[in-house]
Amino acid sequence: MKATAAKLLAKAGPFLGLLVVIVLFSIPAETREFFLTYHNFKIILTQTVIVAIGALGMTMIIVSGGIDLSVGSSIAFTSVVGALLIQKGWGPVPAMLAVILSGGLIGLVNGASIAGLRLVPFIITLGTLGVARGAAKWLGDNQTVNYDASPINSWMTTSDPFGYALPPGVWVALVLAVVTSLLLRNTVFGRHVFALGSNEATARLCGIPTTRLKIAIYALAGCFFGLAGLFQLSRLRQGDPTVAIGLELDIIASVIIGGASLSGGVGTILGSMIGALIMAVLRNGSQQMGWPTYFQEIIIGLVIIVAVFVDHLRQGKRE
């Protein structure tokens, strides 16, 4: 009886959580008029893009049994790289590719160090957290990098210059979520990511090239973080080396709220996306309620603990 309830909670938890926060914010008089509107949801979705794209990469890493703490710094680094390239006169497409690849490069360094030095991901990425942040400040000469107008700036506006109903960033995130979900569930690469996270010893025993696989996972996730950096750049319209401090914690929280296990082998893209939405709805709703930011921080902190407790219930079921 208790076990069934826990199981249901673990399965439907993220969905229910999202529903609950939406309903809660729809009731009070302060928010009733604006909260459940098309325009507000457009804002929420746009605000979710950066964390959501980060969560795509993070889901892969966490499912593989790893962690990446350097995401916030990677986003800052890649957005500064983007700003500098645009300043130098690069077109939007080459600049975009360069930004994504610079994120991939940080991921490659992370993956190669983790697999090559056989150190735990926590330590390596704690190191690159500092290195990438410092490099971003160095590149930006310790200040924000400004540039004249670029088409990239319009990828995250809610004013809808293209008539796509939602800004391009949201569509990109949606398409990538579907693609990544299929990648994890239905491809050899994806199943090997789960195998690695579920039991690395078994993966090795079964002849899976675990070293190469780890490097590939971190490098691919790094590309996602680079893309998140691109949208960060588009949103701020400048390269800010001090942006996104601690954002990796929001991203990790999204993945965990979405039902992934920090011990690896468990997690879904759909769950992580809902997790990211829950965080964004909480922020948006709290702002509309006029709550001070410290109150928002407390609420989000508590939500993370509840989510991890659900993860714990699921783990307990295993024995």
Partner 1 sequence: MATTAAALRLTGIKKSFGATRALRGVSLEIAPGEVHALIGENGAGKSTLMKVLSGAHEADEGVMEIGGRPYRPAGPHDARLKGVAMIYQELNLALHLSARENILLGAESASLGWIDAPASRERAQAAVAQLGHANLDLDRPAGTFSIAEQQIIEIARALLTKPQVLIMDEPTSSLTLADTEKLFATIQRLRAQGVSIIYISHFLEECRRIADRYTVLKDGETVGSGAMAGASLDHIVTLMTGREVKDLYPRTEHAAGEVVLEVKSVASAPRLKGASLQVRAGEIFGLAGLIGAGRTDLLRTIFSLDAVDAGEVCVVGAPGVKATPRARWAQGLGFLSENRKEEGLMLTQSIADNITLTKHETFGRCGWINGARQRTVAQHWVEQLQVKCRDASQPIHQLSGGNQQKIAIARLLEHPARIFLLDEPTRGIDVGSKAQIYQLIGELAAAGKAVVIISSYLPELLGLCDTVGVMCRGELCAIRPRAQWTESEIMRVATGSVEPSSDPSV
Where on the chain is the footprint of partner 1 (CB under 8 A)? 1, 3, 186-192, 194-195, 198-199, 201-209, 261, 265-266, 318
Residue 63 vs 86, nearer CB to partner 1? 63
The structure tokens 């924000």 sit at: 144
Q: Which helix (H) or strand (E) holds 3?
A: helix 2-26
Residue 3 vs 165, nearer CB to partner 1? 3
Supply the minimum distance, in Å, between the C-beta of residue 262 and partner 1. Answer: 13
Between CA 135 and CA 84 the distance in angstroms is: 13
What is the token pair recorded at 256?
A: 């965990």
Between CA 101 and CA 107 the distance in angstroms is: 9
> Are the CB atoms for 222 and 102 separated by under 8 Å?
no
Residue 169 vs 264, nearer CB to partner 1? 264
The structure tokens 């680079």 sit at: 226
Supply the minimum distance, in Å, between the C-beta of residue 114 and partner 1. Answer: 20
Between CA 251 and CA 236 the distance in angstroms is: 19
Residue 7 vs 32, nearer CB to partner 1? 7
What is the token pair recorded at 90?
A: 């690069």
Supply the minimum distance, in Å, between the C-beta of residue 264 and partner 1. Answer: 8
Supply the minimum distance, in Å, between the C-beta of residue 278 and partner 1. Answer: 24
The structure tokens 């928010």 sit at: 31
Residue 3 vs 306, nearer CB to partner 1? 3
